[in-house]
C-alpha cells in the first residue's frame, strides 16, 4: 500500500506483568499474539522487522528480519527498538509503522488511517489517539527524523517515554473511535 514503509513490531519487553514470559509467543484465540498483529500488517508494508531480545528463531520465521537492542540503549523500552532499527538499517528510507506485539485486535483500517496520514503530513509522527488518550505504540514515524533526532534525544532524555520523543518531533493525532481494537494484553488472565 505504501512506498518505503517498514513495520517495526516490538516484542522485546520484559513482560513483568506476565511473569517474564515472552509476550509475543503467548496464545490468544489459538495463535501467538504477534501473529495477530502480523496478519493485519504484512500486506500494508514493504517489510516487517521484529524487535526482540529473546527467541530469535521463533521471530525469524515470521518476519523479514529480527533485531535486538544495541549499546548503549539496551532495555530502555520502545525507543531502544527504534534506535536498533536505524542503527542496523542506515540506508532505511520513508516511514516506520511502529506496533506492539500485544494488541491482537488492531484492525487493518486503523493501520490504514495511520499510513494514509503520511500523504499530507510526511514530516511529523502520526499516532493513534482514542478517547482514553494517545496510543504511542501505534504510530508512523518519518525515518529521516528518527535518524537525525533519536540519538541526540536519547543522550539528553530525562526518561525514555515514547510520547516525549514524539512531541519533540511534532506529533499529529489520528483519532480512532474503536477503543476495543487497542486492547493491550499484559497479563496471562487477559489471554
Indicate the annotated binding residues for GTP. Answer: 10-12, 23, 69, 102
114 DSSP 8-state letter: H
Rounded CA-CA distance 137/114 in Å is: 12
Q: Phi, psi (5° rounding) for residue 167?
A: -65, -35
Q: Which residues are annotated as a binding site for Mg(2+)?
A: 102
Per the structure block, which three cell numbers stand in for 120? Answer: 499530507
The phi, psi pair for 161, rounded to 5°, reads -75, 140
Q: Alpha-carbon distance 89 to 116, whole Å?
A: 24
> Are 98 and 138 within 8 A, CB to CB?
yes
Binding-site annotation, residues: 10-12, 23, 69, 102
CA distance 55 to 128: 29
Amino acid at each position: 500500500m505504501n512506498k518505503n514503509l517498514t513495520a517495526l513490531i516490538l516484542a522485546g519487553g520484559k513482560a513483568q506483568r506476565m511473569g517474564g514470559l515472552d509476550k509475543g509467543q503467548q496464545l490468544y484465540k489459538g495463535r501467538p499474539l504477534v501473529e495477530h498483529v502480523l496478519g493485519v500488517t504484512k500486506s500494508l508494508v514493504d517489510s516487517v522487522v521484529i524487535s526482540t531480545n529473546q527467541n530469535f528463531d521463533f521471530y525469524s520465521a515470521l518476519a523479514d528480519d529480527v533485531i535486538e537492542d544495541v549499546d548503549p540503549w539496551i532495555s530502555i523500552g520502545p525507543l531502544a527498538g527504534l534506535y536498533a532499527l536505524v542503527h542496523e538499517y542506515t540506508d532505511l528510507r520513508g516511514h516506520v509503522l511502529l506496533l506492539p506485539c500485544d494488541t491482537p485486535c488492531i484492525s487493518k483500517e486503523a493501520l490504514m488511517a495511520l499510513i494514509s496520514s503520511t500523504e499530507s503530513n510526511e514530516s511529523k509522527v502520526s499516532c493513534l489517539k482514542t478517547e482514553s488518550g494517545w496510543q504511542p505504540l501505534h504510530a508512523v514515524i518519518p525515518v529521516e527524523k528518527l535518524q537525525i533526532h533519536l540519538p541526540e534525544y536519547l543522550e539528553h532524555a530525562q526518561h525514555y517515554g515514547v510520547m516525549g520523543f514524539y512531541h519533540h518531533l511534532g506529533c499529529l493525532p489520528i483519532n480512532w473511535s474503536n477503543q476495543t481494537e487497542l486492547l493491550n494484553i499484559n497479563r496471562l488472565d487477559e489471554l
